[in-house]
Chains A and B, each alone.
Chain A
């Protein structure tokens, strides 16, 4: 049984929920069992936001993640809050342009990506989240970069066609980062 539990956390407005949705739709297309659970409430605008995504080849039990295999942290409070919960052997993806701190655990694999800075440099400020998603897909053994086009196609409304290219661009930037 393969189950991957991914926790995205950051500020509202950083596209945390969208990142999760992206992985959930990817799982759907790949015919996996999927659950996507957002935090909800007043934090939707500017406060902390997080979302739980579970991808599995068997039915998902609890959609609530207590021990994530993957943590994507896009601000310092989120990293501090969840760093201790990540399963040993798991991965942590850190937006290092927003978080100066280093992860002080040696039983997890940590990726530092200056995603927000990269997005600024490329003129795609709102897509830092997708840069990290690209990096995650490339670097996690249970996930794959293949098929991202189809997911973008599904998630970006036809009216916003220009966003499709930008999303692919961000994902690819993430994929290639560090190579």
Chain B
């Protein structure tokens, strides 16, 4: 068995990226994700890779765009305000159909907000952020181990579908250390005949572009892209069921919120409440199937979030309002205690009795 090592979540992302074959990292410092850049700065020069601190988040995402277009596995990382700056580039990357990995270790907002953990970029990540019709694959790790495994997965999905995979983490998972093992994951490589490599005067020129001045062409392009998104919704949704076998109350939480929620679910179980947890691992595609599977039995949902209630909208859509959905939330960098979640579970239980 591979050795267990203690690592910070942010470092796990960086190490996993390197193991996934990423040799190009472009970033800009911002708390609480800077360990990723620091790790890359230390490692990349030793393995023939490139670490470059850009002049801004805007420049760094555009370096990513260039490197992705050149056919390389490439990534950037930032935290909430920095992701807003990257939104322009994310839209171009989507419109040009090139693969990239972008990490958002979220902190409280809006504005400069704070630096403590948050999940308030859920809308930005899953519904857009940049302009235009587009999606990103959004992966939500809940442990240091998943910071690594979802990074590797994210690169693979990005290459497979030619789009951005975003790791939507938070300050807690980024900063905490847990034991982690790096199994020798199989790293798939993909042919990139569209990449900018120089024509060698042997083929017509490749053009990476998101401009379509003729509206019918742009519409066609968008339709095609959404057919791809449909495939992703069908094939790539991931989630974890926790004590859901007989659950009548269902807590829904991702990332760090799901960790706290598990404690609350365990305590509620000891009080005899039939409660479980659905933990979406992909936030887009949202794991609708997880909810379809339990809709006959679950009589109330509790969405636990570190924001003012963003994922709850997707929970309502996924459950088709078959049962009430309540919100248990803290925001601004605060994290609900297990007791606060327990109270919400008890209230949900009272509501259905």
Q: Which A residues are closer than 8 A to B by beta carbons? A: 21, 24-25, 28, 31, 33-38, 40-41, 60-64, 66
Contacts and interface: CB of A to CB of B under 8 A. Distances in A.
B338 A66 contact: yes
Contact of B177 (A35, A40, A61, A64): A35
Closest 6 CB pairs of A and B: A36-B177, A62-B260, A61-B263, A37-B176, A61-B262, A62-B259
B178 interface: yes
Contact of A41 (B116, B176, B262, B337): B116
Given A24-B6, A24-B177, A37-B176, A61 B260 contact: yes
Contacts, number: 65
Contacts of B335: 64
B115 A61 contact: no
* Dominant secondary structure of chain B at its interface with chain A: mixed
Contacts of B177: 21, 24, 34-37
A33 B172 contact: no
Contact of A61 (B6, B116, B259): B259
A64 B6 contact: no
B338 A25 contact: no
B338 A62 contact: yes
B339 interface: yes
Nearest to B176: A37
13 contacts: A24-B6, A28-B4, A33-B179, A34-B177, A34-B178, A37-B176, A40-B171, A61-B259, A61-B260, A62-B338, A63-B178, A63-B256, A64-B260
B32 A34 contact: no
Contacts of B96: none
B179 A28 contact: yes
A34 B176 contact: no
B176 A35 contact: yes
Interface string B245-277: 000000000001001101100100000000000
Contacts of A41: 31-32, 115-116
Interface in B20-78: 31-32
B175 interface: yes
Contact of A40 (B115, B262, B263, B338): B115
B328 to A, nearest CB: 14
Contacts of B179: 28, 33-34
Given A28-B4, A34-B179, A62-B260, 17 more contacts: A21-B177, A25-B6, A33-B179, A34-B177, A35-B177, A35-B178, A36-B177, A37-B175, A38-B176, A40-B32, A40-B115, A41-B115, A61-B260, A61-B262, A62-B262, A63-B172, A64-B172
Nearest to A36: B177
A102 B115 CA distance: 34
Given A35-B176, A35-B178, A36-B176, A62 B263 contact: yes
